[in-house]
Amino acid sequence: MIAALKTNWPKYLIEGWALGMFMISATFFAGFFELPHSPARHLVTDPLLRRWLGGCAMGITLMGLVYSGWGRRSGAHMNPAVTLTFLYLKKISRYDAVWYIAAQFTGGALAMLLFGNLFPDFTAAREVNYVQTQPGMAGIAAAFIAEVVISLGMFLTVLYSSNYKKTAPYTGVFAGLLLMLYITVESPLSGTSMNPARSIASAVAASNFHYQWIFLTAPLIGMLGAGIAWKAWICRKPEFKCSFQG
């Protein structure tokens, strides 16, 4: 494990940096579109349209991180559920997975704590609320099921696209577009997490860990389910060449 740290520490730092940048972007755009004194809030009065615009902002953020030089270097997992599923699929070593996950949780939490301390009124405002992911009006069960479904859909999209020659270069675009759709449509149910480190980062800054078991478990169930389905069924189709198949 120490040898992996000495060799690949830049990739681990990139993973922490990437999720940190994602969290800062999410916090900024939440305030930009939702705070009462924001010009964007007055110009766009329809909540659904504001969610779509916020989704566009976060989708573009995700694409930017994925296609950045640093993102390409680490693979831009930014998500423990992604890393653990890639570990199951034997696309990452155990030691790299441990350090990736540690960096993701640390980077996300540090970014939120820093942003919260620099801009406390902005970050803690009711409309921003540390961009926490929490069950919506439909309740806990709906939030859990929604997180499983969107996580499964996201990871199947990534696997399909990245393992098909013609679409592989556009995997980050597909992921970003899907995130836009999820934030627009699904966020009232759970806040659209799909990422344990993303949700814990907000929880740490807000000192509120209620319902975090949903966001620690549901994304992993969904993405691991996608990985299992991929390996056992889809990957065996002749048009895909899956090095982890066995």
In order, the DSSP letters of 41-70 are HHH---HHHHHHHHHHHHHHHHHHHHHSHH
**Does 242 map to a domain?**
no
Distance (Å, whole) CA 85 – CA 89: 6
Total domain count, the chain: 1
Angstrom distances, CA of residue 76 to CA of 46, 79, 134: 33, 8, 25
For 167-207, write each residue's pLDDT tens digit: 999 999 999 999 999 999 999 999 999 999 999 999 999 99
The yes-or-no verdict on residue 4 having pLDDT over 90 is: no
What is the CATH classification number for the domain harbouring 142?
1.20.1080.10
**Does 34 map to a domain?**
yes
The yes-or-no verdict on residue 244 having pLDDT over 70 is: no
H helical segments located in the chain:
2-34, 39-43, 47-67, 69-74, 80-88, 94-118, 120-124, 140-162, 171-185, 187-190, 196-206, 212-232
**Does 85 map to a domain?**
yes
Sorting pLDDT into bands at 50, 70 and 90, what band is 246? very low
**Does 241 map to a domain?**
no
| pTM across the whole model | 0.93
The yes-or-no verdict on residue 243 having pLDDT over 60 is: no
Average of per-residue pLDDT across 151-156: 97
**Does 243 map to a domain?**
no
| Burial class of residue 234, CB neighbours in 10 A (0-12, 13-18, 19+) | middle
The yes-or-no verdict on residue 133 having pLDDT over 90 is: yes
The yes-or-no verdict on residue 237 having pLDDT over 70 is: no
**Does 194 map to a domain?**
yes
The residue segments making up the domain with residue 198 are 2-236
**Does 244 map to a domain?**
no
Note the pLDDT of residue 146: 98
Note the pLDDT of residue 3: 75
Is the separation of the CB atoms in 51 and 184 below 8 Å? yes
Per DSSP, 3 falls in state H
Sorting pLDDT into bands at 50, 70 and 90, what band is 66? very high
Identity (one letter) of the amino acid at 24?
I
**Does 16 map to a domain?**
yes
**How many Cβ atoms from other residues are within 10 Å of residue 243's Cβ?**
10
